[in-house]
Amino acid sequence: MTTSRRRFLAAAAALPAAPSILARTAATDWDETFDVVVVGSGVAGTVAAIAAAEKGAKVLMIEKLNRTGGTSRFSGLNFACVGSPEQKKRGVKDSPEALARDMFRVSGGVGNYELALVMAKNTARVEKFFTDRGVRWDGRLLKLGGHSAERCLIPEGDGAGLLAALTKYMAGLKNLTVRTSCKADEVLFDKDRAAGLLVRENYAFSEDPRDDETNRTGTPRRIRALRAVIFATGGYARDRAFRAVEVPFLDGVSTTTSPGATAGALKTLVRAGARAMHLSLYRFAYPLPTEDMVWGVLIDPATGTRFMSEGASRNELAVGTLQRRLTNGDKKPFMIYDEKALGKFHNLNRVGRSLNGLNGLDGTMFRFDTIEALAAHYGADAAAVKKTLETYNRDIAAGRDEAFGKPLERTERKVEPIDMKGPFYGIVISPRLNYTPGGIRTNEKAQALDWNGNPIPGLYVAGEAAGGLHGQERMTACSMPDCSVFGLIAGENAAAEHA
């Protein structure tokens, strides 16, 4: 037994309200019957529910919160797509194999190339699925960090806009029922097959993740799934106690994921016999796109100097800034931009939200007329900051970053010296744990696998609830195709199961 599994099972076994690990709950009398039951209402769950309903299945989609959308409704949902109409229109040369290779390279060698290839081969099909059901794209085609080609699409209205279009479409599907304030407690089995769920309706969700196992509100009901159960319950970034067992320094890291992003569903699936994997991995995000850090200068307020490359990967930036805070009195590093730099951002909408104080915790960008005003705001020595910028500007003008070797070109745009006349723009760089790569091991059919690698009949897992695809670092714009592709596959396969 691996250390990760041993620690995970020990932690889950200690929960007072939980049944014995791997002790499957047998089906008894049913209160209600559907063909397919989907747990979770983000992109993965919504796509799965629509796909199953369109195949003729009677579908129930449940959500433990009193609203739908999960973390997807707060996300940008940039979408890496091979073979989109935009790529074809612009003559971009790309292939599913190229996207899968990019993902595997970024994964640190611990991602799953075969699953990535399945995902990549289905992205164009999913793009059409979205477009045909009312989703609109903003017309851009971007080459974001880690990608070898221009392939990333942006939905109009980001995640909220995409889900609004799908929700409107779902309203016309008479065989699809959506039920909020409904929490899945256990997978119920008929012999070795997942046959339904023990749920609690009228569940009063608490935003304190410590209540995830002790909150017993709601009315228990047994819902039968004649064909299959699909878990699309997202990650566990909100569950500090759970994540800190695997990675202690994550205990103090903030997150802007949905309040429902706890480990309860993951524990339910493990109790049902599914294998968890990659629980020690993590992925950070920032109020501003990681790809656009490269245009600025990252400063330690304790010294007024740079301490790493602004062009590093998102996890490298996170670890670098968090480790710096361990030695500088927990002072948050900040980024300096000028107006030319802001104009290079691939997502100006997020810049606008930051400038208007609408980009969440530590997400506000401030404008300053002078270096002195900027330095005073962040508690740094103005003379040290000015000297750092002057040295940086000389190096960039000479075509090199002597100190940290950061790349000076990205997406055919060049890094330029900071305009010392001002104005200057500053924002704290404080990483958020906004994605958890760990989850349930699945196959290319989105079936949950047991500890021996065998599919669990009638049980599917899609999206962030699944683990193993992305490895130690998920590439930008690849969560959306992961959730949507495997949500689609899960929904179609679940509907095709024999009743």
Residue 499, exposed/middle/buried by CB under 10 A (0-12, 13-18, 19+)? Answer: exposed
Q: Are 282 and 433 in contact (CB under 8 A)?
A: yes
The pLDDT, as a whole number, for residue 426 is 98
The pLDDT, as a whole number, for residue 25 is 75
For the chain, give the longest Cα–Cα distance: 75
Residue keyed to tokens 């800034």: 321
**Whole-structure pTM value:** 0.85
Task: Output the six-digit token pair for 370.
Answer: 């002078």
The pLDDT, as a whole number, for residue 494 is 98
The pLDDT, as a whole number, for residue 22 is 52
The pLDDT, as a whole number, for residue 23 is 58
Distances, alpha carbon 316 to alpha carbons 289, 313, 495, in Å: 14, 5, 42
Q: Phi and psi at residue 222, in whole multiples of 5°?
A: -110, 115
Separation of alpha carbons 444 and 45, rounded Å: 17
H helix or E strand, kind and range, residue 217: none
Task: Output the six-digit token pair for 41.
Answer: 């209402």
The pLDDT, as a whole number, for residue 15 is 38
Separation of alpha carbons 146 and 476, rounded Å: 7
The pLDDT, as a whole number, for residue 21 is 43
Spatial neighbors of 140 by CB under 8 A, at least 6 apart, are 153, 154, 346
Task: Output the six-digit token pair for 293.
Answer: 């850090």
Q: Are 441 and 255 in contact (CB under 8 A)?
A: no
Distances, alpha carbon 167 to alpha carbons 73, 159, 160, 385, in Å: 12, 12, 10, 49
The pLDDT, as a whole number, for residue 184 is 97
Spatial neighbors of 3 by CB under 8 A, at least 6 apart, are none
Residue 60 region by backbone torsions, left for phi larger than 0, else alpha for psi between -120 and 50, else beta = beta
409 pairs with which residues across the strands?
Answer: 414
Spatial neighbors of 300 by CB under 8 A, at least 6 apart, are 306, 307, 324, 328, 331, 333
The pLDDT, as a whole number, for residue 24 is 77
CB atoms within 10 A of CB 17: 10
* List of the chain residues with pLDDT < 50: 1-21
Separation of alpha carbons 110 and 124, rounded Å: 26
End-to-end CA distance of the chain: 36
Task: Output the six-digit token pair for 17.
Answer: 């309200």
Among 439, 145, 184, residue whose Cα is nearest residue 310: 145
